[in-house]
Structure 1
Amino acid sequence: MTHTARRMFELLEPICLVTFFADECTEELAALGHRTYWDGYFASRVAPLGRVPAQVVDAAFYSFAEGEAARHIPSAWEKIPPEASLAARERGSAASLRRILGAGAAVARAADLTTKAATSAPTAGRVMYAGMRSLAVSSDPVARLWHSATMLREHRADGHIAALVGARIGGTEAHVLSALDMGIHPPESFGRIQHLPKKRLTAVMNGLRERGLVDAEGRFTESGRETKRHIEALTDELAAPPYEALSPAELDELVAELEPITETLVAAGSR
């Protein structure tokens, strides 16, 4: 099932990415009154958990720099209730999918099978996934496909965090390893962390060197490569349970239904 989990991640991720890359979601959140992209991001993504404090958002999101959540939570909810941000997120994301895929795109069967998988896994230890599972799933096929793909994304992310914690890799350290895995050097130039204070990045890199995960030039050691490989393999393993609800024939059908959808979204950059 680990191969299945990796393949489904590849197929479903472009569906989820419209939330972050396309204009419609950003515009919907801005129309509510969110001042910045990141206000809308934090408010709408954590909304299924309710009005939790910034410390909880830090724990649930994990990879953001210390104090980042507090720049947006709870101030983003002062005039905009979480429910409104959540609805805007789904509304905008579904609108992006409709625009990119075209009117009349055949998504109903893919939505049905994705929803079956997404609503079948245990929620124990999966905070963000459990939050998404608590929400009603739309009857509209496009919105349902987005919602269910996002449930599975949060399920996978919860497992990924567990894998990182087990490997004693912090959130910023995880970005360094991802940058190196993508061939980015120096890893401090990676877009997700390049804005952090130089002192903070230096401390992170020094810590990885002391543990033998990166070398003096800031590149992977063999130990670092193996650590990253182990984290990704465990993430796939932990992401597999939802797909056990589908028969082999249903899995084959879901892949066949998703492939043209994903191909279209990838060509558009999920924008």
Structure 2
Amino acid sequence: MTRTARRMFDLLEPICLVTFLSDECNDELAALGHRTYWDGYFASRAAPLGRVPAQVVHAAFYNFADGEVARHIPSAWETIPPEASFAARERGSAASLRRILGEELASSPGLVRAAELTTQAAVNTPTAGRVMFAGMRALPVPTDPVARLWHSATMLREHRGDGHIAALVGAGIGGAEAHVLSALDMGIHPPESFGRVQHLPKVRLAAVMAGLRSRGLVDAEGHFTDAGRETKQRIETLTDELAAAPYDTLSPAELDELIAALEPLSATVAATGSQ
């Protein structure tokens, strides 16, 4: 089922990314009163966890630098309840999908069926050890098919993300180190130029690179070693294995139907860059 998990990630990710890349979600969050993109991001994504302290959000998200979460949580919730932020996130994301897909696809039987099957996969999967997934699972699933598809796709994204964090922790790879390995995997060199880490203090970033070199994962020029590439691949393989459980809940025929229903939807969204 690891191939299935990877295929489903490829199909669902463009649908989930509208939350972060399209205007409607940001506009909804700004209309609530969130002053910056990151205020809205942390407030709305962490909202399913409830009013937890920054340390809990930092642990659950895993790959943000020390102190980044605390700049936004809990201050982003002081005047805007978490529930309102999440509702704005869902509203804006569904609006983005509806716009990108157009009326014909957004109201198609294929989308309705894709929403039904992604929901079926998500709600029948155990939550043990999956903090972000469990938070999403605790929320009501929308009845509107477009919102339902986004909601269930995002549940599955958080399920996969929880597993990915487990794989990283098992391999002894921290959040900043994970970004460096991802940058190298994407062919970005020097990896320190990657947008997710380039803002770090130079001393901190140098320490991250030194740690990877001392473990033999990165060479003196900042490229993958064989051991580094193998470590990255092992993490990705384990992530796929840990992400397979939801799709085991579907019959082979249902899984084939889901993939066929998602393909035109995902392709349409991906063609716009989820914007």
Is TM (by shorter chain) over 0.5?
yes
2:96 corresponds to 1:124: no
Q: Using the alignment, how far apart are the partners of 2:197 and 2:38 within structure 1? A: 15
Q: Using the alignment, how far apart are the partners of 1:120 and 1:198 within structure 2? A: 45
2:209 corresponds to 1:235: no
Q: CA deviation at 1:121?
A: 1.0
From 216, 240, 265, give the equivalent of 2:269.
265
2:158 corresponds to 1:158: no
Aligned position for 2:220 = 216
Q: CA deviation at 1:104?
A: 3.5
Amino acid at match of 1:47: A
Q: CA deviation at 1:103?
A: 1.1
Aligned position for 2:114 = 110
Aligned position for 1:7 = 7
Amino acid at match of 1:197: P
* Percentage of matched positions with identical amino acids: 80
Aligned position for 2:181 = 177
Aligned position for 2:65 = 65
2:204 corresponds to 1:204: no
Amino acid at match of 2:71: R
Amino acid at match of 1:234: L
Amino acid at match of 1:146: W
Aligned position for 1:137 = 141
2:190 corresponds to 1:186: yes
Extract unaligned runs of 5+ from structure 2: none
Q: Using the alignment, how far apart are the partners of 1:188 and 1:259 within structure 2? A: 35
Q: Using the alignment, how far apart are the partners of 2:141 and 2:218 within structure 1? A: 44
Q: Using the alignment, how far apart are the partners of 2:197 and 2:210 within structure 1? A: 15
Q: Using the alignment, how far apart are the partners of 2:10 and 2:89 within structure 1? A: 22
TM-score, structure 1 as length reference:
0.99
SS state of the match for residue 73, structure 1? Answer: coil
Q: Using the alignment, how far apart are the partners of 2:77 and 2:258 within structure 1? A: 38
Q: CA deviation at 1:120?
A: 1.3
Q: Using the alignment, how far apart are the partners of 1:253 and 1:114 within structure 2? A: 11
Aligned position for 2:250 = 246
Q: Deviations over 1:24-72 (max 9, x none)?
A: 0000000000010000000000000100000001000000111100000
Moved over 2 A (4+): none
2:47 corresponds to 1:47: yes
SS state of the match for residue 102, structure 1? Answer: helix
Amino acid at match of 1:221: T
Q: CA deviation at 1:138?
A: 0.5
SS state of the match for residue 103, structure 2? Answer: coil
SS state of the match for residue 198, structure 2? Answer: coil
Two-structure CA RMSD over aligned residues (Å): 0.5
TM-score, structure 2 as length reference:
0.98
Aligned length: 271
Q: Using the alignment, how far apart are the partners of 2:104 and 2:152 within structure 1? A: 20
Amino acid at match of 2:104: G
Q: Using the alignment, how far apart are the partners of 1:37 and 1:118 within structure 2? A: 28
2:81 corresponds to 1:81: yes
Aligned position for 1:16 = 16
